[in-house]
Amino acid sequence: MIRAFLKKVGILPNSAVQSGRGPRIIPRSEHGISRKNISENALKVLYRLNQHGYEAFLVGGGVRDLLLGLHPKDFDVVTNAKPEEIRRVFRNCRLIGRRFRLAHVYFGHDIIEVATFRGKTDDCAEVVHSAQGMILRDNVYGTLAEDVWRRDFTINAIYYNIADFSLVDYVGGFADLKAKRMKMIGEVEQRYREDPVRMLRAIRFACKVNFSLSKELTEPMTKLKDLIGHVSSSRLFEEVLKMFHSGAARAVYDHLIDYDLFGQLFPASYQSLQQTTYPMDALLKIVFHNTDMRIQQQKPVTPAFIVAALLWYPICIRAQHFLDEGLPLFPARMQAIEEVVQEQIRRVSIPKRIIQGAREIWLLQMRLNKRYGKRAHLLMAEPRFRAAFDFLELRAQAGEGREIDALTQWWQAYIAGDATKRRALVKALSAVRR
């Protein structure tokens, strides 16, 4: 009866009830995770904690991705050592975080994140909630058996035990992975309310590992989407960046649109999707597709380029508005950039250096049609010219219009041409001008 009650209030998920709450232990011989595929530094941390008498496990994306045959982007370690104790074990360690206190162990540029098991939080003064039910702070420590219920999805809650290389699975995550199933631990709506970022995480993981999202996970999104507005803008930036870099940005974009979350992150971009003057949807689809391709080919991706695409049409629309009000062209554009940027960073705090990169691309878009005399030659020498030209090509590809097609073709010919050809191209412009 107690189990039935706990399940009903969302404390116990179905799988735990079915499995009788004890964990399923999957021995090394029955799973494919090999230490060869775990980062050397993560292994060092795990072994060292173990040698000091602490329990140490890998959990989260590292375990999930290894079981799926993917390359994990990082390895999260969890232990029963408290943050202060972790610091005593590692000299190269810093404690970070307020909302969740964590240890970062440094190996040059590589950082291994080490968390302490979280404990039960019912009626606990250490856990601070907001008026909307969001968890603002939570530093109650516990055991593995308690920690597991605090994780988001079953596929993220499989623990790899460094003591015997077995997997510990309380929530049926191993079976869910095999069945390509995303399942929330606990009651979906309550878990989204505690942390609205879980809605975005649901989408990101489903797209990254190519699982479909169940109705159970997507249905509450429409009702709860406004809660995203209560999440700190810096946390949203971190999540947005992970989405862009997931290798599945194109699919993530479709999902954000389908479940009406895109506007929560990019309100002005969402608004420009509703009008027909500019091909906003086409531009974003191309940019996200190209980003995924670059990640696949292990080429670097520039967030500034994506931000440039997200805000370019909102800026064009805003600039037109100022022009209609009688502002001259240059101030109209500058004011449009400043306003759109300010509004955007209130929601998702995109760092200054990324905004600066995007700004350079926008400013060059505005100069690319001024090609007379020495201007084309000077433009090509600008450090951001290549990015700006690539962006122009995307605008043409997205179908912005014939003028942009012609401009793109002109620049393609100019870039490919020798000095004579370039002079001829500029001369032909002057002829048209006359």
Catalytic residues: 74, 76, 152
Please check whether residue 159 is in contact with residue 168, taking contact to mean a CB–CB distance below 8 angstroms. yes
Q: Name the residue nearer to ligand ATP (CB basis): 199 or 392.
A: 199
Choose the stretch contacting ligand ATP; rule: CB under 6 A; options: 7-15, 195-203, 264-272, 318-326.
195-203
Helix (H, G, I), strand (E, B) or coil at 181: strand
User: How many angstroms separate the CA atoms of 342 and 175, rounded?
Assistant: 46
DSSP letter assigned to residue 167: E
User: How many angstroms separate the CA atoms of 417 and 385, rounded?
Assistant: 16
Helix (H, G, I), strand (E, B) or coil at 235: helix
Please check whether residue 136 is in contact with residue 99, taking contact to mean a CB–CB distance below 8 angstroms. yes
Is 138 near ligand ATP (CB under 6 A)? no
Residue among 18, 13, 61 nearest 38 (CA): 61
User: How many angstroms separate the CA atoms of 411 and 422, rounded?
Assistant: 10
Q: Which of 15, 116, 154, 156 binds ligand ATP (CB under 6 A)?
A: 156
Q: Name the residue nearer to Mg ion (CB basis): 208 or 347.
A: 208
Is 152 near ligand ATP (CB under 6 A)? yes
Using CB distances below 5 to 8 A depending on partner kind, what does residue 138 bind out of ligand ATP, Mg ion, none? none
Choose the stretch contacting ligand ATP; rule: CB under 6 A; options: 19-27, 39-47, 73-81, 297-305.
73-81
Q: How far is the CB of 76 from ligand ATP (least distance, A)?
A: 4
Q: Which H helix or E strand runs over 112?
A: strand 110-116
The contact mask relative to ligand ATP for 24-63 (x = CB under 6 A, - = no) is -----------------------------------xxx--
Please check whether residue 407 is in contact with residue 392, taking contact to mean a CB–CB distance below 8 angstroms. yes
Task: Catalog residues that contact Mg ion under the rule CB under 5 A.
Answer: 60-61, 74, 76
Residue among 151, 144, 152, 143 nearest 168 (CA): 144
Q: How far is the CB of 153 from ligand ATP (least distance, A)?
A: 7
Is 169 near ligand ATP (CB under 6 A)? no
Choose the stretch contacting ligand ATP; rule: CB under 6 A; options: 194-202, 222-230, 287-295, 359-367.
194-202
Radius of gyration of the chain, Cα coordinates, nearest whole angstrom: 26
Nearest residue to Mg ion, scored by beta-carbon proximity = 61
Is 146 near ligand ATP (CB under 6 A)? no
Q: Name the residue nearer to ligand ATP (CB basis): 60 or 357.
A: 60
Q: How far is the CB of 197 from ligand ATP (least distance, A)?
A: 5
Q: Name the residue nearer to ligand ATP (CB basis): 207 or 283.
A: 207
Please check whether residue 113 is in contact with residue 102, taking contact to mean a CB–CB distance below 8 angstroms. yes
Residue among 228, 293, 298, 217 nearest 267 (CA): 228
Q: Which of residues 198-217 bind ligand ATP (CB under 6 A)?
A: 198
Is 129 near ligand ATP (CB under 6 A)? no
What angle is formed at CA 394 by the lines to CA 392 and CA 399, rounded to 5 degrees? 100
Q: Name the residue nearer to Mg ion (CB basis): 60 or 220.
A: 60
Nearest residue to ligand ATP, scored by beta-carbon proximity = 61
Residue 219, token pair as written in the block: 């249905």
How far apart, in Å, are the Cα atoms of 43 and each of 104, 210, 225?
A: 14, 28, 39
User: Contact positions toward ligand ATP, by CB under 6 A?
Assistant: 59-61, 73-74, 76, 151-152, 156-157, 195, 197-198, 242
